[in-house]
Structure 1
Amino acid sequence: MKRSRFRFVHLSDTHIQPELGAPQAWQKAIRSINALQPSPAFVTTGGDLVMDAQAVDRARAILQFRLFREGIDRLRVPVYHTFGNRDAYGWRRDDAADNLPGFGKQMFQRMLGQRETYLSFDYLHWHFVILDSIRYNPPADWVAEIDEQQLEWLSRDLARVGKQRPIVLITHVPLFTIFPQYDAGTTVAPSEKIIVRNAKEVRSLYKDYNVRAVLQGHTHVVEECTYTGTRYITSGAVCGEWWRGPRSGVHPEGFVVLDCDGEDLKWQYVSYGWKAQTG
């Protein structure tokens, strides 16, 4: 078999908004990706593309998605999007209702032109799976969970691919992380909004497959954990600490560049040189 060698970029937690110079920073990040050598074959996003669509009015939500599109549309390669909790329109509004135009995940789907919030695709010998880790919890909340319909789909998708090909999973909320330990302390139970609450069940579906990595977002930190041979890579944030500097004073604004060679995967976190405009 011919050796597969390619590069791709995973960028997560852009949290785009009109304030704090975020649109300018976003364009700077895009220019940095376009300037990479070698160039990426494609880009995946990690969710929380906008600052917040849950509690704002329709005009504000649409503005944020448009600002996101103004950047992402400048990329010269295909882009595959992951849904994040902040991308859900109207879930935390007082008038939250299914008949609200664009409600929930519909605005994300329409504004980005991506029909599904979970999907899979192939690139050369590698298989990529984007999961939707966000479930509506009425009347005005959400939890991190891979629902039953999606679990059944994932089981079929993996069976179709087989146990030999290298696989990368992508999720907004982590399936495995030690973030709660160094953020809140070892005696504090992790929230169902920090780790996918049925992560053990999800992992059981792919434990016998060749899952080389799981790319995660949500916490804005740069982290790698390895468990039963799978690398869980938490991908920092384009926005750092929500456009107010590096996350926790440590993790700068940036994105992940991944290089695949055969079945090997190497990654690096790339800062695009943004300085927060908080004055």
Structure 2
Amino acid sequence: MKEKVSPITVSKSRRDFIKKIVVGAGGIGVLSVTAKASVIETGLNLPTISDEDTAFYFAHLTDMHVRRQRQGHIGYAACIASVNALETKPDLVLMGGDMAFDGLYNEKEDFIDMIDLFVNASNKLDMPWYGCIGNHDVLGLSSRRKVAIDDPDIGKKLITEATGMPGNYYSFNHNGWHFVVMDTIHEMDTPSGPSYSAKLGEEQLNWLRFDLGANKDMPTVVVIHIAAFCNIGQINGDPEALAMNHMVISDNREFREILERHGVKAVLQGHSHQIE
């Protein structure tokens, strides 16, 4: 790995975009305490984008897990500095979820501190950034929660408000491209209280169908946290690993069919901590 940041170049040519998205390999990865942003060396000879093309750069940061323990907030600050130091500035930064670490198993006050650390560091970016909810970004959706079962902040309220997200899922446009940020943390009730499963759910899938149809004239990039497709079993050489497991959303077939029907250019994923 090269210890540097390489943003992803976006042009309206799908072939160019796919070649470049491979180099990003899921975006910019944050490495432990030092948090150097890095990319995989692929050996690809990328096409040069001419001045006549409408092009821009964006960065994808995922699974930062910001907290005070193990100097996680210091590492993330170094990552932010690396992005700002890029010779060619990204127009925007897409967060891939698990921004803080974590609300499932920690006290509410500690979780709020983690969120504040993340937001304060992210606000030092020289360009706008867009949040995405990960499983560690929610409060108390676990039987091991350390908040009251009727706490009004259980779920996604704290993270969405602190990051300025317009909702759990949303979309926006930039320079002729459409970006969709999805929520793969599906809340549900269990005998032990509020919890979640890895899925989008029919309500969100219906929203996605409408959103993509309403923006059909623009090329689209979708951001999710828990992956729709993940070869973690192959990566780990585990012959017992199931293709459908907790590392992927359970309604990925319906999701894929929507993406294919609307010609979505790319999906950026997180959660597995693997570059695929």
Q: Which runs of 5+ in 2 are unaligned?
A: 1-11, 13-51
Q: Equivalences for 1:15-164 in 2 at 5 Å? A: 15-92=65-142, 93=145, 96-97=148-149, 99-138=150-189, 139-162=193-216, 164=217
For the residues of structure 1 that align with 2:237 and 2:117, how far apart are their CA atoms? Answer: 33
Q: How many residues align?
A: 221
Task: Tell me the TM-score normalized by structure 1.
Answer: 0.75
Q: Does the CA-based 8 Å contact 1:165-1:210 persist in structure 2?
A: no
Number of the residue aligned with 1:183? 236
Identity of aligned residues (%): 30
Cα distance, 1:179 vs. partner? 1.6
Q: Give the RMSD, CA atoms, in angstroms.
A: 1.8
Which is helix-richer, 1 or 2? 2
Q: Equivalences for 1:203-218 in 2 at 5 Å? A: 203-218=256-271
For the residues of structure 1 that align with 2:263 and 2:147, how far apart are their CA atoms? Answer: 45
CA 1:44–1:200 in structure 2 vs 1: closer, same or farther (change >3 Å)? same
Q: Does the CA-based 8 Å contact 1:96-1:140 persist in structure 2?
A: no
Task: Tell me the TM-score normalized by structure 2.
Answer: 0.75
SS at match of 1:135: strand
CA 1:184–1:132 in structure 2 vs 1: closer, same or farther (change >3 Å)? farther
Cα distance, 1:140 vs. partner? 4.7
For the residues of structure 1 that align with 2:237 and 2:186, how far apart are their CA atoms? Answer: 24
Aligned amino acid, residue 121 of structure 1: F
Cα distance, 1:135 vs. partner? 0.9
For the residues of structure 2 that align with 1:42 and 1:143, how far apart are their CA atoms? Answer: 30
Q: Which runs of 5+ in 1 are unaligned?
A: 224-279
Q: Does the CA-based 8 Å contact 1:50-1:65 persist in structure 2?
A: yes
Q: Does the CA-based 8 Å contact 2:98-2:134 persist in structure 1?
A: yes
189-198 or 200-209: which moved more?
189-198
Aligned amino acid, residue 59 of structure 1: E
Per-residue deviation, residues 183-206 of structure 1 (Å, max 9, x unmatched): 361332145420011000111112
For the residues of structure 2 that align with 1:11 and 1:106, how far apart are their CA atoms? Answer: 22
SS at match of 2:187: strand
Cα distance, 1:141 vs. partner? 3.2
Cα distance, 1:209 vs. partner? 2.2
Which is strand-richer, 1 or 2? 1
Cα distance, 1:96 vs. partner? 4.9
For the residues of structure 2 that align with 1:191 and 1:206, how far apart are their CA atoms? Answer: 19
SS at match of 1:201: helix
For the residues of structure 1 that align with 2:166 and 2:245, how far apart are their CA atoms? Answer: 26
Number of the residue aligned with 1:10? 60
Cα distance, 1:133 vs. partner? 0.6
